[in-house]
Each structure stands twice: as structure tokens, then as C-alpha cells.
Amino acid sequence: MDLQEISDRLEIQDLIARYCHAIDRQRFDELDSIFTEDAVIDYTAFGAPRAGLAEMKGFLAEAMSRHATYYHLAATSTITIDGDDAECHTICHNPMVFRREGRPDVLYYCGLWYHDRLVRKAAGWRIAERVEEKCYLATMPEARLS
């Protein structure tokens, strides 16, 4: 592994971390520096849309506002680099607390993989396509989301 590949890998790992922090802090405009302008983002595995960046930012802002809290724990990425293109597969554990008006909040857990296709741009690596793959969705036994 040469220094360029080490640098690329670190930049891609940082990109994945910045995505998690942008979502978890509800700073959705930061996604503009994470995804390409024409990115395809597919969150259909959990019932969300497959959309472009602008539409997905709107969806996320609305969907995340229904939650009291949440975080993304992304880890164990595998990265394959081929020139200015790369693939990255990352595990994510995502506990979320869903607000229910007039009833107790519900803690639930999403387990998933992010499958990313990345491209190197003048400003650095960007995600051109992200597809979520569902591993599990678990709720507390006595709770329902609806």
C-alpha cells in the first residue's frame, strides 16, 4: 500500500464519519460536501425513498424531526480503490428514539450496511451512490412505532 492509497482510505473513512455527524446533528446542508451533486441515495430498505441529494435532504430533515434522539455508529468499512473510483461497504448500528404524542417514546434499533460508490473530485472524495441494505429492525417488545 503506497502513501496515496493510505491517504485515500483515510479521506474516505473521514467522509463516512462526517456523514454520520451531519445526520446526527441535523446539519443536512453538510451533505453537499459528502455526496456528489447528482448522487443517487437509496434508503428504500427501511421504507424511505430512492432520491437525489436535494430531495433526500428534505426527507431526512422531516423524518429526523420525529425523533427525540438517535445516532449512527458506523464501523468496519471495507474500501476498494481503483484510480478515481472506489467502493466502500460499512456496517451501521443506529438506535433511535421515536416521539409519540401522548404516549411514551419508543426506542428502536436499525442495523444496516451502507454500500457506497465513490468518486474523486477536485475537492476530494464524494459519495456518488449510497444504497442501504437492511440487516435488522428491532423494537422494544412492549412498544409499537405507530
d(CA 90, CA 24): 17
pTM equals: 0.92
Q: pLDDT at residue 144 above 70?
A: no
d(CA 63, CA 43): 12
Domain count, the chain: 1
In a domain, 146, yes or no: no
In a domain, 26, yes or no: yes
In a domain, 119, yes or no: yes
Q: Closest Cα to residue 126, out of 118, 136, 134?
A: 118
| Section 22-43 average pLDDT | 98
CA dihedral 108, 51, 87, 133 (to 10 degrees): 30
Contact in structure between 111 and 64 (CB atoms under 8 Å): no
| Section 54-83 average pLDDT | 96
* pLDDT tens, position by position, 107-142: 999 999 999 999 999 999 999 999 999 999 998 656
Q: Which domain holds residue 112?
A: 3-139
**DSSP for residue 52:** -
In a domain, 17, yes or no: yes
d(CA 93, CA 135): 10
**For position 1, what pLDDT does the model report?**
84
Instruction: Specify the CATH number for the domain of residue 73.
Output: 3.10.450.50
d(CA 116, CA 83): 16
Task: Quickly state the pLDDT bin for 58 (edges 50, 70, 90).
Answer: very high
**For position 139, what pLDDT does the model report?**
84
**For position 68, what pLDDT does the model report?**
95
* pLDDT tens, position by position, 37-49: 999 999 999 999 9
